A and B are shown apart, each in its own frame.
Chain A
């Protein structure tokens, strides 16, 4: 089949360019705006200390994303309607004639739809390229893969960087910014459902995702069970724990405390709260790794120094974290970060079913593959086990593996042969049953 037929190429509009102008008709928006020259980011090296930097970083470069547009918009859990709704997405492989080989990949908090190709902004390989491709566990010769940027994201789907619209869907000539309505994981899933319909897919062979992607998988299975033959929630949980919320709040506080955040209206001054966003990323990145992984990678090694001083970032782990922070701000929007972390915090699947997690899955025919990693302390195995027990209570068909790894939460993105074998085998079993 030809997903490209319905494909609309949306050009990511530079909302910063609109700020001084009166609301302009949508059609007349510039197709592509280069980043403002005065904010070139060449001067900001990856190893520099973000807390001491004086120059500002250019807002995200403008990139064209493949997307589907739904003029009627989407009604959100909070009561607001965002119209039009844009869902940016990528596909890999070919949908078969029966439409039975489609997989939906749900990305995590800071992931995006560029799951198996070079990223248009960073130029880096796709975030799950190690398991997607011909002959790999997510075999593009066999399956048709779809991955969409989440609602509230900043890679082309409707989010805080999109042009704000009124109730009638008319553009207001400024980005939503912090006025973007609160979204939930279920809202994200509803947006993906619209894309699914547009692509002409009736049922996913499987919906797969790790971390926040796993939350979307669970929400898919609970909200649209008939549209999900198999579900693979990985390194995830049925709700965000108090500890997880606490870490997110530190990140949000870092963004809020950056003077460049300007109450969320940083776009008015063509700047971004790079320092705050970078610190948020640094904190979050610690939670993605295990103590053992940090020790193995860096230990207490010093960088370019033979003895401790109190002046520079001499530990390797420090410069690594700063590098993570500084590269992140070039591809992610601060208000998106605030919106999406909130959506994760709100997530509580049991609460959506009167406190009974099993009720979310009662009578389901979906087959589940639950996987956790024993060094993941952000979404520990105990969360997966709670989920498995609820699924058992609902008499669901479940496979559950806890993978032995010292890489922490990030393990689901990394080279973990046992995990890849198990996921690939589970999918192949499902495909075989459906005659794919």
Chain B
């Protein structure tokens, strides 16, 4: 089982947090799966039926070459083709802020999956507020490190923005975590308001409410 440890050790910390949330034998779709580190881990370690979608062709080739079920595609255009309830968990990691239609993508996630695990960089972090307030310019931080004219992150949001949309569209928040840039859990686990101020990354597990679950 050396391979598994290798993967786990080299997996991004936020992916490890996500992996911890997913039980054994689940059907999982990882959107924006990169080279497939998470689905490889889930398939080997948790016997998951894990699949991926990735937009970067080089990453897709790498993942498929490793024997993973990854397709070339993107969150905006390819989710509509999956049947309702096809997966137990659908993962969208650090991608929501870069999609064309975040609300529609969320709707699709919770249509094709029983649970959606979504992580995104929190635009409400105090450093962002401070830089905007003090410098009067778009923030330039470790997380938001591309100038406004070339950033792929076209739909940034704060943790509060996100929970507001979840309430509006009727998604139950099962679990949430605020984490720092390295993916370590941050201590503000009780208060969303504090998390919105001090959490660099947010990680949510959502559940579809209503029939058909």
Q: Which residues of B contact A392 (CB under 8 A)?
A: 71, 78, 81-82
**When the two chains form their complex, are residues A399 and B71 in contact, meaning their CB atoms are under 8 A apart?**
yes
Q: Report A372-401 CB contacts with B as 1/0, cut-off 8 Å.
A: 000000000000010011101111011111
Q: Which residues of B contact A403 (CB under 8 A)?
A: 61
B17–chain A nearest beta-carbon distance, Å? 26
B174–chain A nearest beta-carbon distance, Å? 24
**When the two chains form their complex, are residues A429 and B68 in contact, meaning their CB atoms are under 8 A apart?**
yes
A374 closest partner in B (C-beta):
B57
Q: Is the interface of A mostly helix, strand, loop or mixed?
A: helix
**Quick one: which of B58-74 are within 8 Å of A by CB?**
60-61, 63-73
B144–chain A nearest beta-carbon distance, Å? 31
**When the two chains form their complex, are residues B61 and A429 in contact, meaning their CB atoms are under 8 A apart?**
no
Given contacts A393-B82, A397-B51, A404-B57, contact A421 B65 (CB under 8 A): yes
Interface flag for A70 (CB, 8 Å): no
CA distance A2 to B49 in the complex (A): 36
Interface flag for B210 (CB, 8 Å): no
Interface centre among B65, B70, B73, B78 (most CB of A within 10 A): B65
**When the two chains form their complex, are residues A389 and B81 in contact, meaning their CB atoms are under 8 A apart?**
yes
B80 closest partner in A (C-beta):
A389
**Quick one: which of A273-301 are within 8 Å of B by CB?**
none
B196–chain A nearest beta-carbon distance, Å? 36
CA distance A395 to B112 in the complex (A): 10
Q: Which residues of B contact A166 (CB under 8 A)?
A: none
Q: Report A402-423 CB contacts with B as 1/0, cut-off 8 Å.
A: 1110000000000000100110
B79 closest partner in A (C-beta):
A392
A384 closest partner in B (C-beta):
B72
**When the two chains form their complex, are residues B83 and A399 in contact, meaning their CB atoms are under 8 A apart?**
no
Q: Which residues of A contact B64 (CB under 8 A)?
A: 369, 399-401, 422, 425-426
**When the two chains form their complex, are residues A397 and B69 in contact, meaning their CB atoms are under 8 A apart?**
yes
A14–chain B nearest beta-carbon distance, Å? 47
B51 closest partner in A (C-beta):
A397
Give the contacting residue for A425; candidates B49, B65, B82, B83; CB below 8 A: B65
CA distance A145 to B183 in the complex (A): 47
Given contacts A429-B68, A432-B67, contact A389 B61 (CB under 8 A): no
CA distance A76 to B84 in the complex (A): 38
A24–chain B nearest beta-carbon distance, Å? 55
Interface flag for A424 (CB, 8 Å): yes
A436–chain B nearest beta-carbon distance, Å? 13
Which of under 10, 10 to 19, 20 to 34, or 35 or more describes the interface residues of A? Answer: 20 to 34
Given contacts A398-B69, A430-B67, contact A393 B61 (CB under 8 A): no
CA distance A398 to B72 in the complex (A): 10
How many residues of chain B get a CB closer than 8 Å to chain A's CBs? 21
Give the contacting residue for A367; candidates B69, B72, B81; CB below 8 A: B69
Q: Which residues of B contact A398 (CB under 8 A)?
A: 51, 69, 71
CA distance A17 to B139 in the complex (A): 85
B108–chain A nearest beta-carbon distance, Å? 12
Q: Which residues of B contact A390 (CB under 8 A)?
A: 81
**Quick one: which of B35-69 are within 8 Å of A by CB?**
49, 51, 57, 60-61, 63-69
Interface flag for B132 (CB, 8 Å): no
Interface flag for B165 (CB, 8 Å): no
Q: Which residues of B contact A425 (CB under 8 A)?
A: 64-67
**When the two chains form their complex, are residues B78 and A389 in contact, meaning their CB atoms are under 8 A apart?**
yes
CA distance A418 to B58 in the complex (A): 9
CA distance A428 to B78 in the complex (A): 27
**When the two chains form their complex, are residues B61 and A418 in contact, meaning their CB atoms are under 8 A apart?**
yes
A393–chain B nearest beta-carbon distance, Å? 5
Q: Which residues of B contact A428 (CB under 8 A)?
A: 67
A428–chain B nearest beta-carbon distance, Å? 6
**When the two chains form their complex, are residues B57 and A401 in contact, meaning their CB atoms are under 8 A apart?**
yes
Q: Which residues of B contact A430 (CB under 8 A)?
A: 67
Interface centre among B51, B70, B71, B73 (most CB of A within 10 A): B71
Interface centre among B57, B70, B81 (most CB of A within 10 A): B81
CA distance A233 to B73 in the complex (A): 18
Q: Which residues of A contact B82 (CB under 8 A)?
A: 392-393, 395
CA distance A401 to B49 in the complex (A): 20
B52 closest partner in A (C-beta):
A399
**When the two chains form their complex, are residues B70 and A399 in contact, meaning their CB atoms are under 8 A apart?**
yes
Q: Which residues of B contact A400 (CB under 8 A)?
A: 60, 64, 70-73
Q: Report B63-105 CB contacts with A as 1/0, cut-off 8 Å.
A: 1111111111100001001110010000000000000000000
Interface centre among A367, A389, A390, A432 (most CB of B within 10 A): A389
Give the contacting residue for B65; candidates A367, A397, A424, A432; CB below 8 A: A424
Q: Report A207-226 CB contacts with B as 1/0, cut-off 8 Å.
A: 00000000000000000000
**When the two chains form their complex, are residues A395 and B83 in contact, meaning their CB atoms are under 8 A apart?**
yes
Closest 8 A-B residue pairs measured CB to CB? A429-B67, A425-B65, A400-B71, A389-B81, A399-B64, A421-B65, A422-B64, A392-B81
What are 14 A-B pairs with beta-carbon distances under 8 A? A367-B69, A388-B73, A390-B81, A392-B71, A392-B82, A393-B81, A395-B86, A397-B69, A399-B63, A399-B68, A399-B71, A400-B70, A422-B65, A429-B66
Q: Given A399-B63, A399-B71, A402-B57, 20 other A-B contacts at CB below 8 A? A: A388-B71, A390-B81, A392-B82, A394-B83, A397-B49, A398-B71, A400-B60, A400-B72, A401-B57, A403-B61, A421-B61, A422-B61, A422-B65, A424-B65, A425-B65, A426-B64, A426-B65, A429-B66, A429-B67, A429-B68
